[in-house]
Amino acid sequence: MSTTLKRKNLMNSFLEEHTYSLFQNSAKNKKFSILPLRNFKDIFYTGKISIGTPRQQFRVLFDTSFADFWVTSVYCQDPGCSKHKHFDPRESTTFEITDRHMNHLNKFGRIMGFFGRDIVRIGNVVIKNQTFALSQSQTSKILPCVPFEGILGLGYPTLATVGITPFFDNLMQQGIISEPVFAFYLNTKKKNGRVVMLGGVDHSYHKGKLNWIPVSESRYWQITLDRISMNGKVIGCTNRCQAILDTGSSSVCGPTRLITKIQRLIGARPSKGCRYLISRRVNTTIPPVVFTINGVDYPMHPENYILRTSCGLCVRTFVGGTEEMTESETWILGDVFLRLYVSVFDRGNCRIGLAPAV
């Protein structure tokens, strides 16, 4: 126990000492890029990219829980493909086919296809020989309805298909960015808000200093969660647990029994038209749900997770089911949490920085 505490204190000291050693002038750095994101009903945040020569434009979801990169192709005839733009490799003079194939089952469904290489442009960033998958089959009930044509994964390379170099690793290897860092601002308050930053962080998007959290497993962007509390009482993660920061998920997900407990504590009841409904009287007295991470409290107030709909006050943001993913208590902190904070993903130091969004 004393050894564990010593290591934790050493890590915290290191992170504190190095908090200001990176990203001081990112906004003025020529190798730093900011890409605007479009908000679709607070569910998806998508950005424009182009592939090939001449350029073929697409919207993609930037997903930190995924490491491969795929787009819908002309070879896909499934309903999940029919309503979207399709990449046609025959129209690109710089496209090269590979002998690699993708067969991936994730939260959106099963995606099957083959990998190729081409020039990819994101804002002012140009990546040569980027490997990506062209979908041939998209078995999904969700994908026909989504406002994007593909997913660009930002997870660790251990999540990627064997032998495939992920997008962000290519940025680092080709020297396209000066710092091995990307960041998200998903808040709606800033005029030119909702952006992904590549190669650093623009500090004008957050208040105060970044609080650094060590990554506990270099696969997902996974961290250790101290506890979850309401009104000072621990309601989840009693003996510390794991959490994954996921820009590809809109909700906070956890074990079903603990999500049910949270719904009960905030006075929500099941409803057909809404996942849970809450009375207006109860809404005025609900305390925040507080996630304590590396000794720092990150509160989610009722206005952050209660929506006003035609049915009334609706709670859709807490979802159960992570017990099907792993036996140990695990939480997924999606966009409803990340909207409140600037999140900085530091591959160079295996850490995540969080600070309140402006």
Neighbour-count burial of 215, counting CB atoms closer than 10 A to its CB (0-12 exposed, 13-18 middle, 19+ buried): buried
Torsion angle of C-alpha atoms 310, 301, 232, 6, degrees rounded to 10: 130
Give the residue among 304, 357, 352, 335 at the shortest CA–CA distance from 45. 335
Q: Taking the CA atoms of the chain, what radius of gyration do you get in angstroms?
A: 21
**Type and span of the H or E element at 81:** helix 79-82
The token duo for 159 is 């999540």
The sign one gets for the Cα dihedral 215, 221, 227, 232 is positive
> What is the DSSP secondary-structure string of 173-207?
HTT-SSSSEEEEE--SSSTT--EEEESS--GGGBS
The single-letter code of the amino acid at 145 is C
DSSP at 92: -
In this structure, the chain runs to a length of: 358
Mark whether 88 is an active-site residue. no
* AA identity, residue 33: S
Chain center to CA of 275: 23
CA-wise closest residue to 286 among 312, 259, 315, 310: 315
Is 63 an active-site residue? yes
What is the spatial distance between Cα 182 and Cα 201, in angstroms, rounded to a whole number?
Answer: 7
- Active-site residue identified among 63, 68, 118, 226: 63
Strand, helix or coil at 13? helix
Q: Which amino acid is at 298?
A: Y
Catalytic residue, candidates 78, 118, 226, 246: 246
Helix H or strand E encompassing 277: strand 276-278
Active site residues: 63, 246
